[in-house]
Structure 1
Amino acid sequence: MKFGILLTSVYDRGTPPERQRDEHAELVRTAEQAGFGLMVAGQHFLGAELRYFQPVPWLTYMAGQAPAMDVATGIVLLSMVNPVDMAEQISTLDVLTGGRTRFGVGLGYSPHEFDAFGVRKGERVARFEESLALIRRLWSGEKVTFQGRFTGVRDAQPAVQPVQAGGPPVWIGGQAAGAVKRAATKGDAWYTPPFPTHDELHEMRRLFLDTRAEAGLPAAMEFPVRRELLIADSREEAVEAALVRYRARYETYRRWGLKGQNTPVLESGERLRTDIDRRFILGTPEECAAELHKLGDELGMTHFVYKPHWPGLPHAEAMRQLDRFGSEVMPLLRD
């Protein structure tokens, strides 16, 4: 099992950008020292509440801070961006990291982002699949002629090529059944978001495996998983901490348009506690380690992607959680 650190945004436009850069740099340096092997950065556009710097230059800079770590986009909104541009950006990142890049992609869900890029609702999947097909062709090293509904190239043989033959592994994210099937047939791995419950995660993992087998494809080599995780001296204390974090983050997701299959519905009172318990890994280091071990043992998780930052909470608290994860949880898993 490998461990990844998620470089997520917790600041709005009023926070000095240098502060976000320096805190993420401290996060990856500390994670590298603790034994983490991966850093992950996602993508959003035109965000006012949470500021996302674009993932390829961000990961390039952060890889210089922690050069032993792999990098992954988690995720690029492939239904919106230009595939030729993204093929060469990811190739460049793969060169700069010495072939240690994963290409995490997904559809996206925010109406304001689709509107900004002129993407109609009914075109999202078609754009995604066409863009991924073209990117893989451009990474082949061969001369490419490709004409799709939305873009195309003629007799193109780009000199900008990734270090990894055929391109970096493609991790496809999403929590709906269609996204999981798409990951099974079009990608190299399914990258799970943190939204499904523990039971839903098991069901979708089985769907991924069954779909891949039915398509006659080999077993996926990687299974990266995101789960929200909170460490405390007791499970009760961890639940209380999760209550503080849950609403601030998930209300933003809802305002941005996240909805549909296997996504949280904001509850209140005891129902909220139950919902958190169904989605989070919570408790003492021993309890957290046991849950992570079960994900590896029962589902074949190869990478656990951990997010210590939460909106409204100080960076020092994220560093305390990261320190406990590295010094108290990871040794139990090694044992």
Structure 2
Amino acid sequence: MKFGILLTSIYDGSTPARRQRDEHAELVATAEQAGFSLMVAGQHFLGAELRYFQPVPWLTYMSRHAPSMDVATGIILLSMVNPVDTAEQLSTLDVLTGGRARFGVGLGYSPHEFDAFGVAKGERVPRFEESLELIRQLWSGEKVTFHGRFTGVTDARPAVRPLQAGGPPVWIGGQAAGAVKRAARLGDAWYSPPFPTHDELYALHRLFTDTRAEAGSRPAKEFPVRRELLIADSREDAIEAALVRYRARYETYRKWGLNGQNTPVGKSGEELREDIDQRFILGSPEECAAELHKLGAEIGMTHFVYKPHWPGLPHAEAMRQLDRFGSEVVPLLKD
């Protein structure tokens, strides 16, 4: 099992940008020392509540502070961005990191982002699938003529290509059944977000493997999983701390339009506590290690992507959680 650190935003525009940069640099450097082998950064546009720096330059800079770590976009909003630009951006990232990039992609969900890029609701999936097809062709090294519904090239053979033959592995994110089936058909892996419950995660993984088998594809070599994880001296203490984190982060998800299948939004009271219990990995280092081991043993999780940063909480708390994970959880999993 490998460990990844998620470089997410916890600040709006009122916090100095250098502070966010320096805190993320400290996170990846500490994570590398703790045995982490992956850093992940996602993408959003025009967010007022949380400031997302664009992932390719961000990961390129952060890799200077943790040069042994792989990098992954988690995720690029492929239904919105230009596929030619994205193909060359990811190729550049792969070259600059010595062939250690992974291409995490998804549809997105925020209406204000789709509106900004002029993407109609019915175009999201076809734009995504067409873009992914063109990107892979541009990474092939062969001459490409491609005329799709939304974009096209003629006799193109770009000189900007990735180090990895055929391009970085494609991790497709999403928690709805349709997104998981799309990952099975078109991706190299399904990148599971933290939103499904523990039971839903197992069911969606079965859907992924069954769909892949039905399509005649080989079993996926990687299964990256994001779960919210909180270490405390007792499970009850962990749940109480998770309530603070949940309210701060998931309220932003709701504002940005996250909804639909296997998505936790709008919960309160005792229902919220139950929701956290069903989605978070919580408790002592021993309890957290046992849950991670179970995910590896039972559904083949290869990468656990961990998010220590939460809005409203100090960076020192993120570092404390990361330190406990590296010094108390990781050794138990190695044993």
Q: TM-score, normalised to structure 2's length?
A: 1.00
Q: What is the Cα deviation at residue 324 of structure 1?
A: 0.1
- Match of 1:36, SS state, is coil
Q: What residue is the counterpart of 1:66 in the other structure?
A: 66
Displacement of 1:271: 1.4
1:257-298 deviation per Cα after TM superposition (whole angstroms, max 9, x unaligned): 000000003322211111100000000000000000000000
CA deviation profile, 1:160-214 (whole Å, cap 9, x unmatched): 0100000000000000000000000000000000000000000000000000000
Aligned residue number for residue 269 of structure 2:
269
Indicate yes or no: 2:288 matched with 1:288: yes
Question: Structure 2: where are the runs of 5+ without partners?
Answer: none
Distance in 2 (CA, whole Å) between partners of 1:208 and 1:201 is: 10
1:134-149 aligned at under 5 Å gives the runs 134-149=134-149
The runs of at least 4 consecutive aligned structure 1 residues that moved more than 4 Å come to none
Task: Provide the C-alpha distance between the structure 1 equivalents of 2:123 and 2:323, rounded to a whole number of angstroms.
Answer: 44
Paired residue for 1:77?
77
Q: How does 1:49-128 map to 2 (within 5 A)?
A: 49-128=49-128
Counterparts of 2:28 and 2:157, CA distance in 1: 36
Task: Render the CA deviation track for 1:240-261: whole Å, top value 9, x for unaligned.
Answer: 0001110110010011000000
The DSSP-based 3-state class of the residue aligned with 2:159 is coil
What are the Cα deviations for residues 123-147 of structure 1, in whole angstroms up to 9, with x where unaligned? 0000000000000000000000000
Aligned equivalents of 2:329 and 2:73: distance in 1?
25
1:17-56 matches, cutoff 5 A: 17-56=17-56
* Counterpart in the other structure of 2:211: 211
Aligned partners of 2:269, 2:60: CA distance in 1, in Å? 43
Q: Which residue of structure 1 lines up, in the alignment, with residue 240 of structure 2?
A: 240
Quote the Cα distance in structure 2 between the aligned partners of 1:139 and 1:257: 33
Q: Which amino acid aligns with 1:25?
A: A
2:5 aligned partner: 5
Cα distance in 2, alignment partners of residues 276 and 175 from structure 1: 17
Distance 1:271 1:87 in 2: 43
Aligned to 1:133: 133
CA distance in 1, matches of 2:268, 2:208: 33
Q: Distance in 2 between matches of 1:84 and 1:55?
A: 17
The answer to whether structure 1 residue 250 and structure 2 residue 250 are counterparts is: yes
* Equivalence for 2:303: 303
Query: How far is the alpha carbon of 1:18 from its aligned partner?
Result: 0.2
Counterpart AA for 1:281: I
Q: Deviations over 1:85-129 (max 9, x none)?
A: 000000000000000000000000000000000000000000000
What are the ranges of 5 or more consecutive residues in structure 1 without an aligned counterpart?
A: none
- What is the letter of the counterpart of residue 64 of structure 1? R
Deviation at 1:73, TM superposition (A): 0.1
Distance 1:65 1:272 in 2: 38
Residue aligned with 1:64, SS: coil
Question: What is the rounded CA distance, in whole Å, between the counterparts of 2:101 and 2:316 in structure 1?
Answer: 29
C-alpha displacement of 1:69: 0.2
Residue identity over aligned pairs, in percent, reads 85
What amino acid is the match of 1:194? P
CA separation in 2, counterparts of 1:315 and 1:74? 21
The AA in structure 2 aligned to 1:271 is E
Q: Which amino acid aligns with 1:244?
A: V
Deviation of 1:309 after TM superposition, in Å, equals 0.3
Aligned with 1:145: secondary structure? strand
Equivalenced residue count is 335
Q: Which residue of 2 aligns with 1:169?
A: 169
Task: For residue 36 of structure 1, report the CA deviation from its aligned partner.
Answer: 0.1
Rounded Cα–Cα distance in structure 2 between residues aligned with 1:44 and 1:240: 29
